[in-house]
Structure 1
């Protein structure tokens, strides 16, 4: 599977629980929607993923990737210490200038 560098970097950061490297994949003003909550900006995103890593220890295994212009969807198996693990989630990205501008996580 051929993933854009920023998504490969995001998966690697997630799988090594590196919240700083994860947040660095996003633009300064990026927005993340996950579990019914909105996280605005790189600092908020780093705090969110750090808390999530500590709580769930989630790792991602990419299964499928599709893109249409700046919009793309990564389907990944996610496993960790959360109920129902593993689950398959879709990560809906908007990418510009090599950084994630918007991410929405759906089941």
Structure 2
């Protein structure tokens, strides 16, 4: 997978995010796993907590585990664009996980109108 320099971004209004990202985030937050999976390319990779989840089966398992492991709310706090295929969406999570509050970047790489890569990190 490509290495991308996420320091070269410009802030945008959340309304300027591509539809695939906004509809994915809604599916992710409402724990609609089938809809969330439909937003990924067939060879997509999600990195969360330093671990890669490759392809629909692994991503589905990751989404299912994330949906049941903790209870939390998510607030979009900022959105950034690097180019037409790279977007960074900053979220504040509050819930019953260790620490209780976390600010996380959801870094999207798009290909052909779908999510090819998602990196979730502080």
TM-score normalised per structure 2 = 0.80
- 1-structure distance, mates of 2:108, 2:120: 9
User: After TM superposition, what 4+ stretches of structure 1 lie above 3 angstroms from structure 2?
Assistant: none
TM-score (norm 1): 0.90
Aligned mates of 1:91, 1:29 — CA distance in 2: 18
- From the superposition, tell whether residues 7 and 14 of structure 1 become closer, same or farther in structure 2 (CA, over 3 Å): same
Query: Helix, strand or coil: the match of 1:83?
Result: coil
Q: 1:38-82: per-residue Cα shift (whole Å, max 9, x none)? A: 100122101111111111234422111111221111101123331
1:58–1:100 CA distance, 2 compared to 1 (3 A): farther
Count of matched residue positions in the alignment of Structure 1 and Structure 2: 107
Distance in 1 separating the partners of 2:95 and 2:34: 20
Name structure 1 gaps, 5 residues minimum: none
Q: CA RMSD in A?
A: 1.4
